[in-house]
Amino acid sequence: MKIYVKENVERIAGDDETAKKLEANGFKAVNSGEKVIPSLIPEAPEKPSAAATASVRRRRKVQKSKSAEE
Protein backbone atom coordinates (compact mmCIF):
# COMPACT_ATOMS: atom_id res chain seq x y z
CA MET A 1 0.00 0.00 0.00
CA LYS A 2 1.15 3.51 -0.80
CA ILE A 3 -0.05 6.85 0.49
CA TYR A 4 -0.77 9.64 -1.97
CA VAL A 5 -1.21 13.31 -1.06
CA LYS A 6 -2.66 16.30 -2.92
CA GLU A 7 -2.97 19.60 -1.04
CA ASN A 8 -4.59 18.52 2.24
CA VAL A 9 -6.20 15.31 0.94
CA GLU A 10 -4.72 11.88 1.61
CA ARG A 11 -5.54 8.69 -0.31
CA ILE A 12 -4.26 5.14 0.08
CA ALA A 13 -3.73 2.92 -2.94
CA GLY A 14 -3.74 -0.83 -2.44
CA ASP A 15 -3.05 -1.83 -6.05
CA ASP A 16 -1.26 -0.48 -9.13
CA GLU A 17 -4.48 0.45 -10.96
CA THR A 18 -5.66 2.72 -8.15
CA ALA A 19 -2.17 4.22 -7.85
CA LYS A 20 -2.16 5.13 -11.55
CA LYS A 21 -5.58 6.81 -11.25
CA LEU A 22 -4.43 8.86 -8.26
CA GLU A 23 -1.24 9.95 -10.04
CA ALA A 24 -3.33 10.95 -13.08
CA ASN A 25 -5.46 13.15 -10.80
CA GLY A 26 -2.40 14.98 -9.47
CA PHE A 27 -1.71 13.05 -6.27
CA LYS A 28 1.92 12.48 -5.32
CA ALA A 29 3.30 9.38 -3.63
CA VAL A 30 4.73 9.92 -0.16
CA ASN A 31 7.67 7.93 1.16
CA SER A 32 7.63 6.91 4.79
CA GLY A 33 9.38 9.45 6.98
CA GLU A 34 9.04 12.22 4.40
CA LYS A 35 7.76 15.56 5.70
CA VAL A 36 4.71 16.69 3.73
CA ILE A 37 3.19 19.44 5.88
CA PRO A 38 6.10 21.95 5.82
CA SER A 39 5.97 22.05 2.02
CA LEU A 40 2.32 23.14 2.19
CA ILE A 41 2.99 26.10 4.51
CA PRO A 42 3.69 29.32 2.59
CA GLU A 43 7.02 31.02 3.28
CA ALA A 44 5.44 34.43 3.83
CA PRO A 45 2.02 33.98 5.42
CA GLU A 46 -0.48 36.75 4.75
CA LYS A 47 -1.62 38.93 7.63
CA PRO A 48 -5.38 39.27 8.07
CA SER A 49 -6.99 42.48 6.89
CA ALA A 50 -7.89 45.19 9.40
CA ALA A 51 -11.59 44.63 8.70
CA ALA A 52 -11.29 40.91 9.48
CA THR A 53 -9.41 41.62 12.69
CA ALA A 54 -12.04 44.14 13.78
CA SER A 55 -14.80 41.66 13.01
CA VAL A 56 -13.18 38.96 15.17
CA ARG A 57 -12.66 41.39 18.03
CA ARG A 58 -16.33 42.43 17.88
CA ARG A 59 -17.51 38.82 17.86
CA ARG A 60 -15.33 37.90 20.84
CA LYS A 61 -16.55 40.94 22.78
CA VAL A 62 -20.18 39.94 22.16
CA GLN A 63 -19.48 36.34 23.20
CA LYS A 64 -17.83 37.52 26.43
CA SER A 65 -20.78 39.74 27.29
CA LYS A 66 -23.27 36.90 26.58
CA SER A 67 -21.40 34.48 28.83
CA ALA A 68 -21.19 37.07 31.61
CA GLU A 69 -24.98 37.56 31.50
CA GLU A 70 -25.67 33.85 32.05
**pTM assigned to the model:** 0.44
* Distance separating alpha carbons of residues 14 and 12, to the nearest angstrom: 7
With contact defined as beta carbons under 8 Å apart, do 41 and 62 qualify? no
**Which pLDDT belongs to residue 28?**
86
Range of the domain at 2: 1-42
pLDDT at 40: 61
CA atoms in the 13 A half-sphere facing the CB of 56:
5
CA dist., res. 6 & res. 20, Å (int): 14
Residue 64 lies in a domain: no
Residue 58 lies in a domain: no
In-domain check, residue 65: no
Residues 29-66: pLDDT tens digits? 887 776 666 666 667 778 889 999 999 999 999 999 88
pLDDT in tens, 3-38: 888 877 888 888 889 888 988 998 888 877 766 666
